[in-house]
Amino acid sequence: MKHDIITDAKKSISGAVHTDRRHDSAEKHVTGRAEYCDDIAEPQGTLHAYLGTSTVAHGLIRSMDLDAVLAAPGVIGVLTADDVPGHNDISPTGQKDEPVFPVDRTEFHGQPLFAVIATSRDAARRAAELAKIDYEVLPHALDPVSAIEADYPHVTEPLKLERGDIAPAFDSAKNRIKGRMTIGGQDHMYLEGQIAFAIPGEDDDVVVHCSTQHPSEAQHMVAHVLGVPSNAVTVNVRRMGGGFGGKESQMNLFCAVAAIAAKKWNRPVKIRPDRDQDMTATGKRHDFVVDYDVAFDDTGRIEAVDGTFAARCGYSSDLSGPVTDRALFHADNAYFYANVRLTSRPMKTNTVSNTAFRGFGGPQGVVAAERMIEEIAYALGKDPLEIRKTNFYGDRNDGRILTPYHQEVEDNILPRLIGDLESSSDYQARREAVLQHNARSSMIKRGIALTPVKFGISFTATWYNQAGALIHIYNDGSIHLNHGGTEMGQGLNTKVAQVVADAFQVDFERIKITKTTTEKVPNTSATAASSGSDLNGMAALNAAEQLKERLVAFAAERWNSEPETIRFHNNMVEIGSELVSFNDLVRQAYMARVHLSAAGFYKTPKIHWDRAAGKGRPFYYFAYGASCSEVSVDTLTGEYRVERTDILHDVGKSLNPILDKGQVEGAFIQGMGWLTTEELWWDQAGRLRTHAPSTYKIPLASDRPRQFTVKLAEWSENKERTIKRSKAVGEPPFMLGISVFEALSMAVASVADYRECPRLDAPATPERVLMAIERLKNRE
């Protein structure tokens, strides 16, 4: 009998791990029924807040006359620094350099100085324009170079990574190149902007609905500015309309303002900036100016690297410390530097405080590494891919495994991965064809590049590498799943639910995915650093295993059998010779008073980091990938088109291949946008002039490569014991976009017969491409 049932039920559960499972909210997305923060029904009496901002980049605030604001129709009141009941500070790393509202000094154009509270958003927005603020204007520095010239301070302690001895290596080197690369920043351009909606409660309580990747931080910040314990504040996030790092710390301001106003007037308060204010008042990816000095032998092998990474951090530290650190951690990309010194310069500037963005500084490090590879290739007249291969990390046998931060690269799969992509993309033959085309064609030039990425996984702030989850099994057998991660489109909730479905061997549909809330799982880390599934999947698995253990113990006793023989399979539980449904087992366990709720926990093993010494193992493992792109460039205008891209990316043993593929494709396009059309442009007054999609151009469907093939390295399996041997996927594929940038560079180089590295700065807008072409042509 039992065997028949097993045979009948040989089909597996729905939504098992390692299978394609659509996003759990897909149907709600396509019908418009997925609820975002601004869609939550507003209780009667809800007020709306809007920010009033600075109109100078740097100045002392002599006076702030808000009479006209207060007199405007619908206005209930204003909030300034004086109205912050607790601490006027929302700096995420505790440096106390980021007030909710400044007291006497504005440090960037567009800095929020006050908030208006009104009966409608429109009224608040109009009133915010009416402030009369008198400034004593001070000189400003907008970019890292002018900040260094003006002797501006670092916003946080710089980092130095050093290994070997560069001085003798440079002295004895056969070849040496020094250069500078300017790398632009990037706006997140999440489709759903920043928003927070606070509802006051009894005592000190306040509930804040918002769109944040870091509910625990928002909770702590709100408590901090209100001057109440964290237990009074609840932060809820059902889903975000995109995050990409832009909602890791940047939501704090909005949560704080909504919460202060909600408590002050004892009414619900919502704040939602318009797109322009969202883009001017919240941080972005850091721009970098990288000075590099590289020594290499005649085969192109790197002997020494000296790199200085100066970043536009903005007026405060925000996350600039860990961001600039991560730039250094990735300044090797996939290459072994025999002797190396890398220094960060996190510069204070009179611009919005820059923040996390997919890759978190890593992409800027990687793109600088690839620039050095290019320099070597053009200097030696070789294919950059050959130089890349010459410099890849090796293995224990050749001893080329130590990173600049003294962690050994133990899981290098790049040789195989690159080999696979080189042949599947037909790189060699196509490069030859590109060279031939360029020899024939004077106006349209082509370029092709195959670039690798190696990306370190773990928060470099070691304590962040922990997570919690909460699972309830109700007595009807339905499962309620909650964890500390947040859903921003990446499919985290789907993946974690798959892990739980797999653990209990029940259908995916049985699991109810619930909003992230600080009431259920405390002290969570940001859903960031690509760590969402790694951390929360493990925490949920831990909770599920605790519950299974209790169920098994109960079943063993109830059916008088050995715990080892009890198996969960396809919504059933096999207990000795009995086969009971999961529902039955749960019901009986409940009747027998078994505790059917469990909190799970996880912390990443093995990692440690000594920042002062610049040594340790900051990363649990590395994720790898490579992409090959071919472009056409019109040398008369600098306009270009991506003809073809082939990608092979490593996600270990994927929890959900179709979602991972979606991450890889989306990240590639976003990375390509960063390096091509997405340009942040400040005028001399320090005003950001590209502050909405009309002026800031992210890729469109028609910017996709004309041929686009994306594959996961199916043979890969994480060497470390991660959740089901998968690997993180959020950030690493972002850097695959570099292949487009490098291909453009090759097309430009062709106008000077590849004798000179074009030193294209990023983003390579048509303008930069044309100007580089003109520069190279005029030198001929």
Contact string (CB under 8 A) for other proteins, positions 90-129, x = contact: --------------------------------x--xx--x
Which among 509, 358, 586 has a CA at the least distance from the CA of 22?
509
Token pair for 233: 């504040």
Does 30 bind other proteins (CB under 8 A)? Our answer is yes
Does 569 bind other proteins (CB under 8 A)? Our answer is no
Spatial distance between the Cα atoms of 693 and 697, rounded to a whole number of angstroms: 6
Token pair for 545: 């295993």
What are the backbone angles phi and psi of residue 48, rounded to the nearest 5°?
A: -130, 140
User: Smallest distance from the beta carbon of 44 to other proteins, in angstroms?
Assistant: 14
Of residues 38-67, those binding other proteins (CB under 8 A): 38-39, 41
| Interface residue with other proteins, options 432, 774, 777, 779 (CB under 8 A) | 774
User: Smallest distance from the beta carbon of 120 to other proteins, in angstroms?
Assistant: 8
Does 704 bind other proteins (CB under 8 A)? Our answer is yes
| Interface residue with other proteins, options 102, 456, 638, 686 (CB under 8 A) | 638
Which among 603, 594, 598 has a CA at the least distance from the CA of 469?
598
| Interface residue with other proteins, options 489, 618, 625, 652 (CB under 8 A) | 489
159-173 residues labelled b (16+ CB within 10 A) or e (exposed): bebbbbebeebbeeb
Token pair for 729: 């996927």
Cis geometry, peptide bond prior to residue 733 (ω within 30 degrees of 0): no
User: Smallest distance from the beta carbon of 626 to other proteins, in angstroms?
Assistant: 17
Beta strands 511-513 and 615-617 are unpaired
User: Smallest distance from the beta carbon of 192 to other proteins, in angstroms?
Assistant: 4
User: Smallest distance from the beta carbon of 540 to other proteins, in angstroms?
Assistant: 21
Which among 221, 226, 262 has a CA at the least distance from the CA of 85?
226
274-305 residues labelled b (16+ CB within 10 A) or e (exposed): eeebbbbbbbbbbbbbbbbbbbbeeebbbbbb
Does 274 bind other proteins (CB under 8 A)? Our answer is yes
CA end-to-end span of the chain, whole Å?
85
For 608-678, where are the E strands, in sequence order? 608-610, 615-617, 621-634, 640-649
Does 232 bind other proteins (CB under 8 A)? Our answer is no
Candidate ranges 273-281, 337-345, 396-404, 569-577; the one touching other proteins (CB under 8 A): 273-281
Which among 745, 721, 54 has a CA at the least distance from the CA of 352?
54
Candidate ranges 1-9, 160-168, 450-458, 697-705; the one touching other proteins (CB under 8 A): 697-705
Token pair for 290: 């990288």
> How would you list the strands of the sheet with 47-53, edge to edge?
75-79, 112-118, 47-53, 269-271, 196-200, 206-210, 233-237, 516-517
Please answer whether residues 663 and 724 qualify as being in contact, where contact means their C-beta atoms are separated by less than 8 angstroms: no
Candidate ranges 94-102, 137-145, 317-325, 684-692; the one touching other proteins (CB under 8 A): 684-692
> In what helix (H) or strand (E) does residue 665 lie, and over which residues does it extend?
helix 657-675
Of residues 161-180, those binding other proteins (CB under 8 A): none
| Interface residue with other proteins, options 96, 426, 681, 714 (CB under 8 A) | 681
C-alpha torsion angle, residues 242, 248, 250, 256 (rounded to 10): 110
Does 346 bind other proteins (CB under 8 A)? Our answer is no
Does 254 bind other proteins (CB under 8 A)? Our answer is no
Of residues 640-679, those binding other proteins (CB under 8 A): 640-641, 658-659, 662, 665-670, 677, 679
Does 779 bind other proteins (CB under 8 A)? Our answer is no
Contacts of 229 (CB under 8 A, 6+ apart): 204, 223
Does 703 bind other proteins (CB under 8 A)? Our answer is yes
User: Smallest distance from the beta carbon of 690 to other proteins, in angstroms?
Assistant: 5
Contacts of 253 (CB under 8 A, 6+ apart): 90, 100, 112, 281, 282
**Which one, 63 or 702, has the nearer CB to other proteins?**
702
Of residues 732-771, those binding other proteins (CB under 8 A): 765-767, 770-771
User: Smallest distance from the beta carbon of 701 to other proteins, in angstroms?
Assistant: 4
Of residues 417-446, those binding other proteins (CB under 8 A): 443-444
Of 303, 375, 731, 742, catalytic = 731
Candidate ranges 334-342, 428-436, 560-568, 683-691; the one touching other proteins (CB under 8 A): 683-691
Spatial distance between the Cα atoms of 80 and 257, rounded to a whole number of angstroms: 10
731 is catalytic: yes
| Interface residue with other proteins, options 346, 452, 491, 730 (CB under 8 A) | 491
Please answer whether residues 633 and 444 qualify as being in contact, where contact means their C-beta atoms are separated by less than 8 angstroms: yes
**Which one, 30 or 612, has the nearer CB to other proteins?**
30
Of residues 607-626, those binding other proteins (CB under 8 A): none
| Interface residue with other proteins, options 160, 394, 692, 725 (CB under 8 A) | 692
Q: How many helices (H) and strands (E) does the chain have?
A: 21, 29
**Which one, 163 or 358, has the nearer CB to other proteins?**
358
Candidate ranges 258-266, 512-520, 539-547, 691-699; the one touching other proteins (CB under 8 A): 691-699
> How would you list the strands of the sheet with 707-712, edge to edge?
444-457, 621-634, 640-649, 707-712
| Interface residue with other proteins, options 2, 12, 28, 103 (CB under 8 A) | 28
User: Smallest distance from the beta carbon of 696 to other proteins, in angstroms?
Assistant: 9
User: Smallest distance from the beta carbon of 358 to other proteins, in angstroms?
Assistant: 10
Beta strands 516-517 and 233-237 are antiparallel
Does 2 bind other proteins (CB under 8 A)? Our answer is no
Q: Where are the alpha helices (DSSP H) in 129-238?
A: 144-149, 166-172, 215-226
Residue 156, CB-side half-sphere exposure with 13 Å CA sphere? 29
| Interface residue with other proteins, options 60, 68, 137, 191 (CB under 8 A) | 191
| Interface residue with other proteins, options 52, 144, 215, 241 (CB under 8 A) | 241
User: Smallest distance from the beta carbon of 24 to other proteins, in angstroms?
Assistant: 11
Does 130 bind other proteins (CB under 8 A)? Our answer is no
| Interface residue with other proteins, options 165, 610, 639, 753 (CB under 8 A) | 639
Spatial distance between the Cα atoms of 758 and 447, rounded to a whole number of angstroms: 13
CA distances from 485 to 112, 286, 355, 493 (A): 29, 25, 19, 8
CA distances from 557 to 548, 551, 553, 561, 589 (A): 14, 10, 6, 7, 11
**Which one, 310 or 773, has the nearer CB to other proteins?**
773
User: Smallest distance from the beta carbon of 681 to other proteins, in angstroms?
Assistant: 4
| Interface residue with other proteins, options 488, 538, 551, 675 (CB under 8 A) | 488
| Interface residue with other proteins, options 697, 711, 719, 725 (CB under 8 A) | 697
Does 71 bind other proteins (CB under 8 A)? Our answer is no
# residues near other proteins by CB under 8 A: 86
**Which one, 331 or 773, has the nearer CB to other proteins?**
773
**Which one, 129 or 171, has the nearer CB to other proteins?**
129
Polymer length in residues for the chain: 780
Q: Which residues are catalytic?
A: 731
